[in-house]
Amino acid sequence: MVRIERTRGGVVVDALDVATQRIERWQAASAVVALPVHVAARVVQDAPGFLKDAALRVVQAPWLVANLHLRAPLHDRPGAAPSWDNVLYGDAATAPGLGYVDAKHQSLQTVAGATVLTYYRALGDAYGSPLVGRQLLQHKPWAQWRDEIVAELSVAHPDLASKVTRMEITRYGHAMAVPVPQGLCVRRSQNQSVAGHCRCRPGAVCALPTATGRATRCLKRRSLPDTWPAVAW
C-alpha cells in the first residue's frame, strides 16, 4: 500500500505487486485503512487533520529483534525445563532484553537438533526517551549488538557462544505504540474526541465515515457497541 486517495466516485488505492515490482491501482467505493497512524498519515493523500495530529501524538517504541542460529541444542541445565518463551532474571544492566523464544520448542523430533532462538529488546525507555533509543538502534554497530546479546544470554547458557553459527539482527524503528495518558485521544471539536472511532446509531457499524468523521452509511448489525473502532476512507 503506497497511496490512498479519496475521489468523487469513491477511493483510489495504489499498491505494490511484490512479484512483478509494479504498482497496481484499485478503485472502490470505500477502503478501511488499517495502518499504524504514522504510516496512514503519509499514505492517505490530503489526510484529515485529526489523523496528522494522531501521528504526531502517538509515541512509538523502537525494537531490536535478533535470530540466533544454533548448530546444536543448548545444554539442558538442572531445574525447570526449557520453555518456548524464556526470560532471563536480572535488571536493566544485566538482562536488558525481553528474553527469547525457541523455534523448535514444540518439535516432535525425538532427538533435539539445530534450532533458532529469537531474542527481543525494547528500546522505548532507553535513556528515558524513545527518540534516544531509536538513535541508538540506528547508529550502534551490528558487531556491538551481537556481542551484547551473546554476553547477556551466555549468563544462562554458557555454551551459547560455541554453538551460534549465524545471527540476523533486524531494527524496527516504530515497532509499537507506547501507551500514555490521552495518547490515543485526538480532539476534533469541543464536544467530540476521536481515537479511531466514529459515531453511529446503536447496533450498527460505521462503514464509510467522511474525513470529518460523520458516517455516510451504516451496516445493520446486532449486539455491537455504539461506537466501533474503525477508520475508513
Query: How confident is the model over 109-121, as pLDDT tens digits?
Result: 766 789 999 999 9
pLDDT value of residue 19: 93
Q: How large is the average pLDDT for residues 166-177?
A: 88
Strand partners, 232: 32
Q: How large is the average pLDDT for residues 159-184?
A: 85
* CA nearest neighbour of 103 among 93, 94, 112, 92: 112
- Percentage of the residues of the chain whose pLDDT score is greater than 70: 77
* CA nearest neighbour of 197 among 220, 177, 224, 174: 224
C-alpha cell at 65: 529483534
Q: How large is the average pLDDT for residues 206-217?
A: 37
Q: How confident is the model over 70-117, as pLDDT tens digits?
A: 999 999 878 877 788 999 988 888 899 999 999 978 777 766 789 999
pLDDT value of residue 229: 37
Does the domain formed by 60-177 have CATH 3.40.50.720?
no
With contact defined as beta carbons under 8 Å apart, do 14 and 44 qualify?
Answer: no
Around Cβ 183, how many Cβ atoms within 10 Å? 14
Q: How confident is the model over 27-41, as pLDDT tens digits?
A: 999 999 998 888 999
Q: How confident is the model over 114-165, as pLDDT tens digits?
A: 999 999 999 887 777 888 888 999 999 999 999 999 999 999 999 999 999 9
Locate the domains of the chain by residue range. Answer: 3-58+180-228, 60-177
Distance CA 151, CA 99 (A): 13
pLDDT value of residue 184: 57
pLDDT value of residue 185: 60
pLDDT value of residue 107: 74
Q: Which has more confidence, 110 or 60?
A: 60
Q: Is the pLDDT of residue 183 over 80?
A: no
pLDDT value of residue 233: 36
pLDDT value of residue 218: 35
